[in-house]
Amino acid sequence: MLSSLGVHLLVGLSRAMILFIVSSGLSFVLGVLRVPNVAHGSLYMIGAFSAFTLNQVFGGGAAAFWLALLLSPFVVAGVALVAERGLFCHLYQREHLMLLLFTFALMLILGDLVKIIWGSDYRSITSPELLAGSLPILGSSFPKYNLFLLIVGPVVAVALWLFTNKTKIGKVARAAAVDREMVDAIGINVSWVFAFAFTLGCFLGGLGGALVAPTISVSLGMDHDIIIEAFLIVTIGGLGNMWGALIGSLIFGVTHSIGVLLWPQFAIVFPYLAVVIVLVWRPTGMLKSVW
Amino acid sequence: MQRGPFNWKTVWPYVAVFAALLFMPLALSRFYVYITAVIMVTALLAMSLNMVVGHGGMYQFHHAAFYGVGAYTFALVLTRTQLPAWVGFVLAPFAAAFTGLIIGWFCVRLNKLYFGMLQISLGSLIWAIAFRWYSLTGGDDGIHGIPIPDAISTISSSYYFILFVLGACIIVMYMIYRSPFGKTLQAIRDNPERCETVGIHVRGHQLFGIVIATFFAGIAGVLFVVVEGSVFPDLLFWVLSLEVFIMCLLGGWFTFAGPVLGAAITVGLRTFVGTYTEYWTLILGVILILLIFFLPEGVMGFIIDKTRGREGAGGLTDAKGRIHQ
Amino acid sequence: MLRAESINKSFDGFLAVNEANLTVERGEIVAVIGPNGAGKTTLFKLITGHLRPDDGRIIFKDEDISGLPPYEVCKKGISLSFQVVNVFSRMTVFDNVQVAVLSHQNKTRKLFSSAGKHGIEETEEILGNLGLADKAGRVSGSLSHGDQKVLEMAVALGNRPELLILDEPTAGMSPEETSETIDLIRRLNSDLGLTILFCEHDMELVFSIAHRIMVMAHGRSIIQAAPAEVRDNEEVQSAYLGGT
């Protein structure tokens, strides 16, 4: 039982890594643009579907997998940039509710675009030899791919932290999150900062989608499922706070695993309940929001 | 300055529409009667949302949760208990309002975006429970074949029932809109800080508004069951909440009856477009974008601006010369 | 009537109000003056409950109101008119004042009767007193800045306050509007018996109508006395009026 619990927790943690990558993107956009991007789930979904297609395009072997994983987030970032420069940026002077509704419209459109391009069938990607199969851990078998995720997660976290704290553009983005007028006043084009932030956030969403693709069936509806989870994670973590997204994701992943172990029928209720408890105790999130 | 709430000049369009709806089933096929009934249910839901969003300024992002609670309560009373149907009619809105009270109490402690996101969280919890509690709610499948009382079980009879309930609700909502409370809520929407300074307990009034609005959402839930005979978890899902939000925007959320127009256009278009393509969601998204860019006051807001030539209708300037929309 | 005793308030380590003291007697017009950043607006916000003092007490009509939320302070009889115009911009001028009147009459929770039946006379009276009667039907966001400042005051009067606090009432006004406002303040005090506390940068205005003046600088109250005494006070002269 204990080893089963241990493996369950590890699976939960690896799920949490995907959730973290996706929600950190959402959180970043929320922090800088102060708008929750409802379409973030759609971009995650596009990341997964792109990974599938790129995989096929490159022949389907191990190399194809890695290439697809590497390139999908850029495809997603491209889509995001087009949407942002084409339409979104014209709304920056409007009230935030309008921006949010725009992202909802984007979600509706992208959702159907995926249906048009890829159809309604389920797709799947097989992970390469290196990551297929499982390892014996704690007396139970633990999928190697999940181990891979447990490594990728922290790497992305560190990379993101370095990027936002050590690079010039990262620091500018963080400054714009706190005080966009000041950034504007010192001569930096805030609109381009937003474009960058939005693109980076969506890049992370796409990366999450590409990473998750081998573990689930890639299908329509992925956007709805992930966006609510990412929203909740960002809310309990503290709006715009990356470490908050990490903590929130861990809570989400772990409580879900506990749920699977204790009461499988209501496993999905556990994370929601945890969210409610956190929000009742700390309505604005566990960590300070960026603004 | 008119004294009473009802003024013939503003009321006659409503009376005309009501009369038209009264005679509709005689002229149109069953399918159109059914669609109109669905529009009316949706209109009530949208109107109830607009009480807190358009008139109250709150970010009510998960209104569907209360709608779903009303629908499920009614369905459960009819299918799981031996209680007479009228108990369900009465219990459902109160269940919805009670849920509104609980969730609202947590939400009004926060501002704007936090309010909305907390509500999505709490509402989603309800959805998750309904989604999984197969034995009680039918889980993913929902409950079907709900025994609606014979008197209102045919298309026509349910249509008239819904029409009269909708009519009564709109009258009550209009009275509330024009009441001192309605004015206060609009003032809270425009400037909560000023309201506090003027002696209004903003949170208390907001909560009161939420409870009233969710009560009507519960009624809409009951009407949904009457027209469809089933319930399913989608009624509690956040996507529906945002769709209803769009209806309010489409109709014009600063007007009174805008949401009715928004609901009519949305459901009508959805039905119409649905016969040609399965990509209605895409079209709805495009419509929303067009609205945001070109018609933020909504269709009815646009019409009112044009026909009444309101002063300052081109945009309101504040002391710093910024234009508000 | 109002006593603020040894009020302290800091924001993230910056001491905005430092042992400030203020007294206002019933029926007086008291002005608070001081350079920008002296803490005048902060002091007003502390009195009206928008901010909580770190230390000190605020006593109104022998009752300690320190730390009460704004809506309760209002119910006690204090009304605030903001420095930056803060009205209900989507609503008409009439509705703006009516909301305040309804709040005063405790009718804000009435659901089933028309708003057109309540508080009409009081609202019309206030609009008449302030010269806004002909603009009653206009959306307040479309008024000129000067008119919006007057509306600001009208809304504050809707609560029938005993103490009216005005934060820079003539800021941004033309000379004609300013003198009209001076007359208005005088009338409110003499005809309606309102006690008035205000802060201003316009020294002519201040010295012409204030019964007593309190001078603030760097968050401290330097002196509170009749205008002549204030004008002659050396500390005030150096801190604010620039010597001589």
Q: How far apart are CA B165 and CA B219, in angstroms?
A: 9
Q: How far is CA C201 from CA B136, C36, C38, C39, C233, in A?
A: 69, 9, 12, 13, 18
- DSSP code for B256: S
Q: Do chain B and A touch: 3 or more Cβ pairs under 8 angstroms?
A: yes
Q: What is the pLDDT of residues B145-204, one digit of tens each?
A: 888 888 888 888 889 999 999 999 999 999 999 899 999 999 999 888 899 888 899 999
Q: Which of A130-139, C56-65, C185-194 has the lowest mean pLDDT?
A: A130-139
User: Measured between alpha carbons, how far is B31 from B325 in angstroms, rounded to an integer?
Assistant: 40
**What's the pLDDT at B321?**
32
Give C20's strand partners. C7
CA distance A252 to A230: 10
At residue B6 the predicted structure's pLDDT band, cuts being 50, 70 and 90, is low
Cα distance between residue A101 and residue B288, in whole Å? 8
Measure the N-to-C terminal CA separation of chain C; round to a whole number of Å: 34
Question: What pLDDT, on a 0 to 100 scale, did the predictor assign at position C65?
Answer: 87
- Residue C8: pLDDT band (50, 70, 90) is confident
How confident is the model at residue C242, as a pLDDT? 53
Per-residue CA distances from A153 to A19, B178, C141 (Å): 9, 55, 51
State the Cα–Cα distance between residues A57 and A78, nearest whole angstrom.
19
The dihedral region occupied by C183, where left means phi > 0, alpha psi between -120 and 50, and beta the remainder, is alpha
pLDDT (mean) for B118-141: 88
Share of chain C above pLDDT 90, in %: 6
* Contact (CB, 8 A) for C7 and C51: no
Residue-wise pLDDT for A211-262, tens only, equals: 999 888 888 989 998 998 999 899 899 888 899 999 999 999 999 998 888 8
Q: What percent of chain B has pLDDT over 90?
A: 47
- Region of C110 (left: φ > 0; alpha: ψ -120 to 50; beta: rest) is beta
Instruction: Return the pLDDT at C4.
Output: 80
- Determine the distance in angstroms separating the CA of B189 from the nearest CA of chain A, rounded to an integer: 14
Strands C63-64 and C55-60: antiparallel
Indicate the residue type of B28: L
Other chains touching A, judged by 3 or more CB pairs under 8 Å: B
Tell me: pLDDT of C244 over 70.
no
As for the ipTM of the complex, it is 0.85
pLDDT of residue A290: 73
Task: Mark yes or no for CB contact A275/B121 under 8 Å.
Answer: yes
C116 contacts B178? CB cut-off 8 A: yes
Mutation target among B171, B172, B179, B255 for the C interface, most CBs of C within 10 A: B179
Q: What is the mean pLDDT of residues B86-102?
A: 94
pLDDT reported for residue A109: 95
Structural tokens at position A53? 């297609």
Q: What is the pLDDT of residue A226?
A: 93
Residue C31 has pLDDT above 70, yes or no: yes
pLDDT digits (tens, 9 = 90+) for C122-132: 888 888 888 88
Q: Smallest Cβ distance to C108: which of B180, B254, B312?
A: B180
Compute, in degrees rounded to 10, the torsion defined by CA atoms A147, A149, A150, A156.
150
pLDDT of residue B311: 43
Q: Which residue of B has its CA nearest to C148?
A: B319
Q: Give the integer Cα–Cα distance in Å for A44 and A42.
A: 5
Distance between the two ends of chain B, CA-based, in angstroms? Answer: 26
> Do C and A touch, counting CB pairs below 8 Å (3 needed)?
no
DSSP A61: S
- Confidence (pTM): 0.87
Contact B184 C103 (CB under 8 A): yes
Q: Does residue B3 register a pLDDT over 50? A: no
- Numbered residues of chain B with Cβ closer than 8 Å to any chain C Cβ: 1-5, 175-176, 178-184, 186-187, 189-191, 193-202, 205, 208, 212, 254, 310-312, 316-319, 324
Q: Report the alpha-carbon distance of residue A215 to residue B267 in Å, rounded.
A: 38
The residue whose two tokens read 């509306």 is C151
**Complete edge-to-edge strand list for the sheet that includes strand C14-24:** C14-24, C2-11, C55-60, C63-64
Q: Minimal Cα distance from A285: which residue of B?
A: B114
pLDDT truncated to tens, each residue of chain A (291 aa)?
567 778 888 888 999 999 999 999 999 999 888 888 999 999 999 999 999 999 888 887 888 888 999 999 999 999 999 999 999 888 888 888 889 889 999 999 999 999 999 988 888 888 887 778 888 877 778 888 888 899 999 999 999 988 888 888 888 888 888 887 888 888 888 888 899 999 999 999 999 999 999 888 888 989 998 998 999 899 899 888 899 999 999 999 999 998 888 888 888 889 988 988 888 888 888 888 776
Cα separation, A19 vs A8, in Å, equals 16
Chain centroid to Cα B72, Å, comes to 17
Other residues' Cβ atoms within 10 Å of the Cβ of residue B16: 10
What is the rounded CA–CA span in Å between residue B286 and residue B277?
15
CA C159 – CA B237 distance, rounded (Å)? 44
For residues B142 and B133, is the Cβ–Cβ distance under 8 A?
no
The answer on pLDDT for B25 being more than 90 is no
Closest CA to C127 of C155, C103, C99: C155
Instruction: Kindly indicate the confidence band of residue C187, based on its pLDDT and cuts at 50, 70 and 90.
Output: confident
Paired strand residues for C24: C2
| Chain B hits for A283, Cβ within 8 Å | 106, 109-110, 114, 118
For the segment B253-308, what is each residue's pLDDT rounded down to a tens digit?
888 889 999 999 999 999 988 888 888 889 999 999 998 999 888 888 888 777 76
Please return the burial class of C14, using the count of CB atoms within 10 Å of its CB with bins 0-12, 13-18 and 19+.
exposed
What does the block give as tokens for B241? 């909440």
Q: Return the residue in B174, B176, B178, B198 with the most chain C beta carbons within 10 A, the one to mutate for interface testing.
A: B198
Render the burial of C59-85: b for 16+ CB within 10 Å, e for the rest: ebeeeebbebebbebbbbbbbbbbbeb
51-80 in chain B: CB under 8 A from chain A: 59
Q: Are C85 and B319 in contact (CB under 8 A)?
A: yes
Asked whether the beta carbons of C170 and C181 are under 8 A apart, the reply is yes
Q: Are strands B323-324 and B316-317 parallel, antiparallel or unpaired?
A: antiparallel
| Top-confidence range, A2-6, B18-22, B215-219 | B215-219
pLDDT computed for residue B236 by the predictor:
93
Q: For residue C240, name the pLDDT band (cuts at 50, 70, 90).
A: low
**Structure confidence by residue, pLDDT tens digits, A116-144:** 999 888 888 888 877 788 888 777 788 88
Would you give the distance in Å from CA A289 to the centre of its chain? 18
**Dihedral of the CA atoms C112, C114, C119, C121 (nearest 10)?**
-150
- Tens-digit pLDDT profile for residues C72-119: 999 888 999 888 888 888 889 999 999 999 988 888 888 888 878 888
Q: Are A55 and A125 in contact (CB under 8 A)?
A: yes
* pLDDT for position B5: 57
Considering just the CA atoms, what is the radius of gyration of chain A in Å? 19
| DSSP codes of every residue in A158-195 | HHHHHHHHHSHHHHHHHHHHH-HHHHHHTT--HHHHHH
Of B179, B191, B198, the CB nearest to C158: B198
Looking at every residue in chain C, the average pLDDT score rounds to 85
Evaluate whether B249 touches B291 at the Cβ level (below 8 Å): yes
B183, C96 in Cβ contact below 8 A? no
Residues in contact with A273: Cβ distance below 8 Å, sequence separation at least 6, in sequence order: A255, B125
- Give the pair of three-digit tokens for residue C24: 């206002």
pLDDT at residue A2, as a whole number: 66
Vertex C236, ends C235 and C240: CA angle to 5°? 120
Smallest CA-to-CA distance from A22 within A209, A170, A164 is with A209
At C106 the three-state DSSP class reads: coil
